[in-house]
Amino acid sequence: MLSPKKVKWRKQQRGRMRGKASRGNRVSFGEYGIQALECGWITSQQIEACRVTIMRTLKRGAKLWIRVFPHKSVTATAAETRMGKGKGSPEYWVAVVKPGTMMFELAGASHENSTKALKLAMDKLPIKAQFVKNENS
- Convert the pLDDT of each residue in 34-77 to its tens digit: 999 999 999 999 999 999 999 999 998 899 999 999 999 999 99
- Does 85 map to a domain? no
CATH at 100: 3.90.1170.10
Identify the band that residue 137 occupies on the pLDDT scale cut at 50, 70 and 90.
low
- Does 50 map to a domain? yes
- Does 120 map to a domain? yes
Helix (H) or strand (E) holding 122: helix 111-122
- Does 51 map to a domain? yes
- Does 86 map to a domain? no
- Does 117 map to a domain? yes
Give ∠ CA 130-135-137 in degrees, rounded to 5.
110
Contact predicate 39/17, CB 8 Å:
yes
- Does 124 map to a domain? yes
Residue 90 has pLDDT above 80, yes or no: yes
- Does 38 map to a domain? yes
Summarize the confidence of residues 89-115 as an average pLDDT: 97
Please report, in angstroms and rounded to a whole number, the separation of the first and last CA atoms in the chain. Answer: 32
Name, in order, each residue with C-beta under 8 angstroms of 127's C-beta and a sequence gap of 6 or more: 36, 37, 38, 39, 40, 42, 97
In whole angstroms, give the CA distance from residue 75 to residue 91: 5
Domain count, the chain: 1
φ, ψ of residue 111 in degrees (nearest 5): -60, -40
* Model confidence, pTM: 0.94
Summarize the confidence of residues 117-126 as an average pLDDT: 97
Domain that holds residue 104: 32-74+91-133
